[in-house]
Amino acid sequence: MTILVTGATGNIGRRVVDQLVGAGQRVRAMTRDPRAARLTDGVEVVYGDFERPETWPDVLDEIERVYLFPFAYVASEPGAGFVGQAAKAGVRRFVVHSAAAAGFAPGDEPGDRSLSPLRRHLAEERQAHRELELMVEATNAEWTHVRPGLLAVNALGWAERIRAELVVREPYGTAGYPLVHEADIAEVAVAALLGDSHAGAAYTITGPAKISQAEQVKAIGRAIGEEIRFEELTPEQARERWLQDGHPPEMADWRIELLAAAVDGPGSLPPTTTFQQITGRPARTFARWALDHAADFRPAGRTEEAA
């Protein structure tokens, strides 16, 4: 049996590939740039593009199980598109990389300009991911939805400034969410790909506890052996900087609202125990994530021994 991993060169997809190989599975990795994939030895790397249907037959040949990257929704519709073609080609199990928003109760309408920026963003995210889930559910295949919350890997957005200045500048330093390690998401996905007890399940997965932005910065500092300053911006200062960095105004607005909602609590996404329930082990902490990514934050010229 060969398992197809789409989105195989992403932060989570790479972990899925590595863990499947470590479990002794044959893996086919779909990517738009096979020459730059740099995946584990023994992985069959193939060219494929969700927006180019002519690439799908070779990708799907003799595949029975698929880890489905969420971008598949741009190339799918009920009974057609990539999901429909995969089912027709003989895929019998899908594990969908979805999002926690897909599990939120329906209510707000995407695009409703009367909603706050965050509510509008969450409605749009819910719709996109839930529609892909429904496409998969409409096939005759087994399915499992893996719905991660906010990712710890988003902290890599601070890496360049930390390497250059050992400083992070953000609004709402006490705001935070239970950030999830990409390895935890991959581990749940692999369990669903290989095990037979997860069919029909939708797993919302987070980190073990809320961790504020200021605490994240301290954890990264400990991981690299450096003192990193956290300089708190006002929401107005942060919005201006994000716009200068090229972020759309709508994104800047919902990011500020997302942080403001999690100053005194976990906002719209409290911690879950999903990972521990599935694996029997505690979820990886942000401190563990920071250690795993220390090289991404370490200033140029500093070695691990020097830190």
pLDDT in tens, the chain (307 residues): 999 999 999 999 999 999 999 999 999 999 999 999 999 999 999 999 998 999 999 999 999 999 999 876 555 555 568 999 999 999 999 999 999 999 998 887 877 888 899 999 999 999 999 999 999 999 999 999 999 999 999 999 999 999 999 999 999 999 999 999 999 999 999 999 999 999 999 999 999 999 999 999 999 999 999 999 999 999 999 999 999 999 999 999 999 999 999 998 777 789 999 999 999 999 999 999 999 999 999 998 666 654 4
Q: Is 114 exposed, middle or buried (0-12, 13-18, 19+ CB in 10 A)?
A: exposed
What is the distance between the alpha carbons of residues 77 and 72, in angstroms, rounded to a whole number?
10
**pLDDT tens digits, 231-283:** 999 999 999 999 999 999 999 999 999 999 999 877 778 999 999 999 999 99
Rg (CA), the chain: 20
What is the distance between the alpha carbons of residues 95 and 188, in angstroms, rounded to a whole number?
10
Q: What residue ranges do the domains of the chain occupy? A: 2-148, 153-178+208-268+284-297
Domain 153-178+208-268+284-297 in this protein, CATH class:
alpha beta
**pLDDT tens digits, 151-178:** 999 999 999 999 999 999 999 999 999 9
DSSP state of 146: E
Matching residue, tokens 């401190």: 287
Nearest CA to 162 out of 231, 59, 115 is that of 231
For 2-148, CATH gives: 3.40.50.720
CB atoms within 10 A of CB 26: 12
What is the distance between the alpha carbons of residues 158 and 184, in angstroms, rounded to a whole number?
22
Task: Compute the C-alpha angle 204/209/211, nearest 5°.
Answer: 120
